[in-house]
């Protein structure tokens, strides 16, 4: 091996050493930059997180104060359901239960109202079981058809009165509410056909029922209920009055759960003792 070859190899080795040193230096610089960036990002994240924590804490304190003020000014259920100054008439509408029961529940309702149907299906059976069937309470239903939004409500109310004429009011009422979706969203003429079919299903005297419904015999009766309800300050259905002439009547609006009725009925019964 001559001297030129030796010099050439030595040069390559030195170049490799320089190359290694340069790449190592670059790697160290990149690592240093990355470390610095991570430190900056972490510092910023920490400050942001700390700022967010303070904001959330302050916000929580504000919400707590607002809820406290709302709670202080919100009337309790007992305040909402104070005895009404009016004496609620039972008129000559259907009554179920012991006629001598000291407490009466008067419902003003609309057969086409979905909330009224919910009360009838979910809550009414429990009231019947625990209070009406045990003789503690009597229950009466009065009509409050909201004709503007429920065009089939008055014909339905008249049909129920025609069923009452044959002593099948409560059975027919139940039929109307359970099958509300069938007749609620059809034309009045179609709804009347449905009402007659319900009478057939309940084995009513069809000729008598049809004649009663076709003549609109009980429209005046339904309108009397509606006018009485307006005089009692009713603006929506269902609305209930619970009590008697001695204790006064407690007004409950809406299809509330059974517990709301239970509390009010029990307090009225206890007031009688």
Which tens digits make up the pLDDT trace of 199-217?
A: 999 999 999 999 999 999 9
Average pLDDT over residues 116-129: 96
Average pLDDT over residues 161-182: 97
Q: Quick one: pLDDT band at residue 135, thresholds 50, 70, 90? A: very high
Which of the pair, 272 or 24, is modelled with greater confidence?
272
Name the burial class of residue 103, with classes exposed (0-12), middle (13-18) and buried (19+) by CB atoms within 10 angstroms of its CB. buried
SS3 per residue for the chain: CCHHHHHHHHHHHHHHHHHHHHHHHHHHHHHHHHHHHHHHHHHHHHHHHHHHHHHHHHHHHHHHHHHHHHHHHCCCHHHHCCEECCCCCCCCCCEECCCCCCEEEEEEECCCCHHHHHHHHHHHHHHHHHHHCCCCEEEEEEECCCCCCCCCHHHHHHHHHHHHCCCCHHHHHHHHHHCHHHHCCCCHHHHHHHHHHHHHHCCCCHHHHHHHHHHCCCHHHHHHHHHHHHHCCCCCCCEEEEEECCCEEEEEECCCCHHHHHHHHHHHHHHHC
Residue 40, pLDDT above cutoff 60: no
Q: Quick one: pLDDT band at residue 86, thresholds 50, 70, 90? A: low
Residue 175, pLDDT above cutoff 50: yes
φ and ψ at 214, to 5 degrees? Answer: -65, -30
CA distances from 272 to 42, 243, 251, 261 (A): 72, 9, 17, 17
Q: Quick one: pLDDT band at residue 61, thresholds 50, 70, 90? A: low
d(CA 209, CA 194): 13
Nearest to 249 by CA among 217, 271, 222: 271
Residue 67, pLDDT above cutoff 70: no
Q: What is the pLDDT of residue 192?
A: 95
Task: Enter the pTM of the model.
Answer: 0.69
Name the burial class of residue 17, with classes exposed (0-12), middle (13-18) and buried (19+) by CB atoms within 10 angstroms of its CB. exposed
Range of lowest pLDDT (80-84, 97-101, 140-144): 80-84
Residue 59, pLDDT above cutoff 80: no
Q: What is the pLDDT of residue 55?
A: 53
The full set of domain ranges for the chain reads 1-74, 81-272
Residue 72, pLDDT above cutoff 60: no
Cis bond before residue 238 (omega within 30° of 0): yes
Q: Tell me which fold the domain 81-272 belongs to.
A: Glutaredoxin (3.40.30)
């Amino acid at each position: 091996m001559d001297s030129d070859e030796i010099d050439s190899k030595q040069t390559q080795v030195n170049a490799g050493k320089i190359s290694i040193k340069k790449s190592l230096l670059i790697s160290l610089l990149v690592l240093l930059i990355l470390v610095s960036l991570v430190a900056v990002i972490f510092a910023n994240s920490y400050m942001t997180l700390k700022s967010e924590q303070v904001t959330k804490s302050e916000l929580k304190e504000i919400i707590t104060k607002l809820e406290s003020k709302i709670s202080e000014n919100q009337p309790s259920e007992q305040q909402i359901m104070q005895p009404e100054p009016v004496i609620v008439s039972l008129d000559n509408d259907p009554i179920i239960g012991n006629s001598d029961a000291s407490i009466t529940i008067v419902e003003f309702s609309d057969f086409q109202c979905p909330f009224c149907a919910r009360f009838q299906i979910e809550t009414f059976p429990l009231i019947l079981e625990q209070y009406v069937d045990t003789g503690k309470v009597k229950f009466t239903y009065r009509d409050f058809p909201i004709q503007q939004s429920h065009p089939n409500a008055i014909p339905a109310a008249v049909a129920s009165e025609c069923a009452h004429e044959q002593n099948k009011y409560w059975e027919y009422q139940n039929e109307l509410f359970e099958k509300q979706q069938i007749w609620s969203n059809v034309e009045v003429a179609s709804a009347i056909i449905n009402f007659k079919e319900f009478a057939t299903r309940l084995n009513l005297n069809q000729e008598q029922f049809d004649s009663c419904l076709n003549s609109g015999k009980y429209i005046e009766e339904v309108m009397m209920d509606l006018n009485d309800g307006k005089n009692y300050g009713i603006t929506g259905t269902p609305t209930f009055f619970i009590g008697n002439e001695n204790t006064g009547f407690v007004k409950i609006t809406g299809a509330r759960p059974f517990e709301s009725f239970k509390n009010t009925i029990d307090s009225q019964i206890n007031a009688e003792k």
